[in-house]
Amino acid sequence: MPTTEIEALFSVADIGVFPCAKCCRPMKLSCIELTAPGFDVRTFQCERCNHTETFAVSI
Ligand SMILES: [Zn+2]
């Protein structure tokens, strides 16, 4: 069973917008990579400070 924290990250990643951890600006989805059947890895990048975050998302 996934934890509630992971479920929250999944739902945020599904929306396609994520606040930057450094400057709180909305980060844009810049890359989606398929890693395994049913899962992909989404990379978000901040346009202001270039901070990036990656999330594994079940699809
Ligand atoms: Zn930023």
In degrees rounded to 5, what are phi and psi of residue 51?
-65, 140
Tell me the one-letter amino acid at 9. Answer: L
In the reported structure, the alpha carbon of residue 54 is separated from the centroid of ligand 1 by a whole-number distance in angstroms of 14
pLDDT for residue 39 = 86
pTM of the full structure? 0.65
pLDDT for residue 28 = 87
Alpha carbon dihedral 11, 45, 40, 6, in 10-degree steps, equals -40
pLDDT for residue 49 = 96
In the reported structure, the alpha carbon of residue 22 is separated from the centroid of ligand 1 by a whole-number distance in angstroms of 5
Sign of CA dihedral 7, 15, 17, 19: negative
pLDDT tens digit string along 2-52? 455 555 555 555 555 678 999 999 888 898 998 888 888 889 899 999 999
In the reported structure, the alpha carbon of residue 56 is separated from the centroid of ligand 1 by a whole-number distance in angstroms of 20
| 56 token code pair | 């594994």
